Amino acid sequence: MELKNKRVLVVGLGKSGLAAAHFLKTLGARVTVSDARPATLIAELSELLDQGFMVEAGSHGLLTFRRQDLIVVSPGVPMSTPVLSQVRAMGAHIVGELELGAEYLKGEVVAVTGSNGKTTTTSLIGEILKAAGRPTLVGGNIGRPVTAMVEESTPESWSVLEVSSFQLETVETFKPRIALVLNITPDHLDRHGTFEAYAALKARITEFQTAEDFLILNGEDKETQLIAAKTMAQVYWFSGRRPMKRGAFVHGESILFVPREGAKPEPVMPVAEISLAGAHNVENVLAAVCAARLAGVESETIRAAVREFKAVEHRLEFVREVGDVRYYNDSKATNVDATMKAVEAFAGGIHLILGGKDKGSDYRVLEPFLRERVKTVITIGSAAEKIERQLDGVVKIERAETLQRAVAFAHEAAVAGDTVLLAPACASFDQFENYEQRGRVFKELVQGL
User: Over the stretch 293-303, which tens digit does the pLDDT of each residue have?
Assistant: 999 999 999 99
- pLDDT surpasses 80 at 1: no
Q: Do 230 and 209 form a contact (C-beta atoms < 8 A)?
A: no
Distance CA(354)–CA(341), nearest Å, equals: 14
- pLDDT surpasses 90 at 269: yes
Q: Are residues 58 and 126 in the same domain?
A: no
Q: Are residues 115 and 227 in the same domain?
A: yes
Q: Of 56, 77, 92, which residue sits at a domain end?
A: 92
Task: Taking residues 58-73, report their average pLDDT.
Answer: 94
Q: Are residues 135 and 226 in the same domain?
A: yes
Can you name the residues that pair with 296 across neighbouring β-strands?
A: none
With pLDDT > 70 as the criterion, what percentage of the chain qualifies?
A: 100
DSSP conformation class of 344: H
User: Domain residues for 326?
Assistant: 317-447
Burial of 194 (0-12, 13-18, 19+ CB in 10 A): exposed
Report the catalytic residues: 118, 141, 188
The 10s digit of each residue's pLDDT in 122-154 is 999 999 999 999 999 999 999 899 999 999 999
Q: Are residues 344 and 259 in the same domain?
A: no
- 2 in a structural domain: no
- 119 in a structural domain: yes
- pLDDT surpasses 90 at 288: yes
State how many domains the chain has: 3
- 173 in a structural domain: yes
Q: Are residues 50 and 131 in the same domain?
A: no
Q: Are residues 278 and 137 in the same domain?
A: yes
Report how far apart, in Å, the C-alpha atoms of 333 and of each of 110, 116, 119, 267, 313 are. Answer: 23, 8, 11, 32, 12
| 0.85 surpassed by pTM | no
- 356 in a structural domain: yes
Q: Are residues 85 and 151 in the same domain?
A: no
The 10s digit of each residue's pLDDT in 208-233 is 999 999 999 999 999 999 999 999 99
Phi-psi region of 307 (alpha: psi -120 to 50; beta: other; left: phi over 0): alpha
- pLDDT surpasses 90 at 310: no
- 1 in a structural domain: no
- 372 in a structural domain: yes
Q: Are residues 321 and 265 in the same domain?
A: no
Q: Are residues 323 and 379 in the same domain?
A: yes
What are φ and ψ of residue 63, in 5° steps? -65, -40
Can you name the residues that pair with 307 across neighbouring β-strands?
A: none
Q: What is the pLDDT of residue 277?
A: 80
Q: Are residues 341 and 264 in the same domain?
A: no
Q: Of 92, 127, 158, which residue sits at a domain end?
A: 92
